[in-house]
Amino acid sequence: MSNLQSFVNKTVTILTSDGRTLTGKLLGHDQTTNLILSHTIERIFSLASAGPDEPTQQVEHGLYLIRGDNVAVCGLVDDELDSGIDWALVRAEPLGGMKHS
């Protein structure tokens, strides 16, 4: 991650190397891509084949530290678009973990 400074104090979504999806406000980072997020929410998506009784879960973690070697992707979130999505209705297949060679 070459330049995360422009993401500081903005909402980001992080995909981790073990396939988790975390969204929160980026408070800071260091040269090894360790990230500090506030107001962090982990979204645990229901399978595409799941019925309506299994909504996508949003687990609130609050202040959260992610080790740099666990960060696969870091991207900015469009807050207006994100707030318009009913995440309980979103279905997705799980992301696989990363393989390091």
Q: What is the pLDDT of residues 11-45, one digit of tens each?
A: 999 999 988 999 999 999 999 999 999 999 999 98
Main-chain phi, psi angles of 6, to 5 degrees = -70, -15
Is 9 a domain residue?
yes
Helix (H) or strand (E) holding 42: strand 35-44
76: CATH: 2.30.30.100
Is 91 a domain residue?
no
User: Total structural domains in the chain?
Assistant: 1
For the entire predicted model, the pTM comes to: 0.86
Cα 46 from Cα 94, distance rounded (Å): 9
Is 93 a domain residue?
no
Q: Dihedral through CA 19, CA 71, CA 83, CA 47, nearest 10?
A: 0
**pLDDT of res. 79:** 92
Question: Can you give the residue range of the structural domain that contains 42?
Answer: 4-84
Is 90 a domain residue?
no
